[in-house]
Amino acid sequence: MSVEKIYTIPVNEAYESDVECPLCSLKKKVENDYLEYYLGPSLMEPDTRVITNKTGFCPEHMGKLNLKETNRLGLGLMLHTHLKDYKDELTPLLNNAAPGKATLLKGRNSDYKAKLNAIADKIDARTKSCPICEKVNYTMDRYSEVVMHLFAKDPAFKDKFTSHHHCLPHVAVLLRTAAGKLSQNEAADFLPLLAKTNEEGFKALIDDVEWFTLKFDYRNTDKPWGTAKNSIQRSMRFLSEDRSEFDEQKSK
């Protein structure tokens, strides 16, 4: 199968399915595949370990690996070497972080402040570094390029595209990919449709959330919910990306 097909098939499937944001549903699937990958035999492979020893996983993906509750041994071994690698880098830096005491002879010296900030930056960078994020971002870039390609070349794709309201972070992804990949004439076709579906998405949610709040008025108690019942979660998914915290089942 050509590389292009590998990405085209899932993009078409996502846009043909009845989901809120197709890019969210693609991302969930890719992310889950990589979570399983890192909890599978790869966790023991030297090539993978060289990377995960250094990077560990970001807070979000560590949480998701934890919730999977599989391969606890593999996770333990990975964390063991990751902690050691981290300690080897951080301990000497922290041991040398303290400035000398200011004395009458030596006076004040603020060089140590830059050092403290540099160590803090190093910790922040290591906290964020994550091979799952990297791979998911890479795949999502390919998917959004395929969206542009299909939009420009496949007339049937336009209808599939306009039947969805993308979440706002994925609108941003589409805008950037459009800037990078579409010709001016293609962009002239693409952006009005993106704008239209986005405005419709806003309007539908604003109406539904308003009705959600009005349902708290006793005069409306017996009136039907319509589509407003899960409008809080749908708004959160629209404003952010789809996350398990916004799942209707978990917020009853």
- Minimum CB separation of residue 127 from Zn ion in Å reads 10
Contacts of 198 (CB under 8 A, 6+ apart): 165, 166, 171
Cβ within 8 Å of residue 91, ≥6 positions away: none
Does 61 contact Zn ion by CB under 5 A?
Answer: yes
* Binding segment toward Zn ion, per CB under 5 A, in 20-28, 34-42, 202-210, 218-226: 20-28
What would the x/- binding string for Zn ion be over residues 150 to 169, using CB under 5 A?
Answer: -----------------x--
- Minimum gap (Å) between residue 174 Cβ and Zn ion: 10
Give the rounded distance of the alpha carbon of 194 from its chain centre. Answer: 21
Contact call for residue 65 and Zn ion (CB under 5 A)? no
**Does 26 help bind Zn ion (rule: CB under 5 A)?**
no
Residue that is written with structure tokens 């336009």 in the block: 158
* Residue 234 is a binding residue for Zn ion (CB under 5 A): no
Which tokens is 198 given? 């986005």
Residues in 106-125 at the binding interface with Zn ion, rule: CB under 5 A: none
Q: Binding of Zn ion at residue 77 (CB under 5 A)? A: no
Closest separation between CB of residue 94 and Zn ion, Å? 25
Chain-centroid distance of CA 145 in Å reads: 17
3-class state of residue 44 by DSSP: helix
Residue with tokens 């609108």: 171
Cα–Cα distance measured from residue 238 to residue 21, given in angstroms and rounded to the nearest whole number: 8
Q: Which of 11, 23, 35, 174 binds Zn ion (CB under 5 A)?
A: 23
Q: To which residue do tokens 């060089």 refer? A: 111
Contact between 24 and Zn ion per CB under 5 A: yes
Contact between 78 and Zn ion per CB under 5 A = no
Candidates 93, 133, 204, 236: give the one binding Zn ion (CB under 5 A): 133
Q: Give the residue with the Cβ less far from Zn ion, 18 or 222.
A: 18
Instruction: Kindly provide the b/e burial profile for residues 35-46, where b requires at least 16 CB atoms within 10 angstroms of the residue's own CB.
Output: beebbeeebeee
Residue 107, judged by CB atoms within 10 A of its CB (0-12, 13-18, 19+), counts as: exposed
Applying CB under 5 A, among 82, 160, 165, 170 the residue interacting with Zn ion is 170
Binding Zn ion (rule: CB under 5 A), the pick from 7, 12, 14, 21 is 21
Residue in the structure block whose two tokens are 């795949």 = 139
Based on the shown chain and the rule CB under 5 A, indicate whether residue 30 belongs to the binding site for Zn ion.
Answer: no
* Shortest distance (Å) from residue 149 CB to Zn ion: 19
Residue with tokens 């199968």: 1
Contact 157, 193 (CB under 8 A): no
Residue 132, interface with Zn ion (CB under 5 A)?
A: yes
Nearer to Zn ion, 24 or 194 (CB): 24
Determine if 82 is a binding residue for Zn ion (CB under 5 A). no
Q: Which residues bind Zn ion (CB under 5 A)?
A: 21, 23-24, 58, 61, 130, 132-133, 167, 170, 241
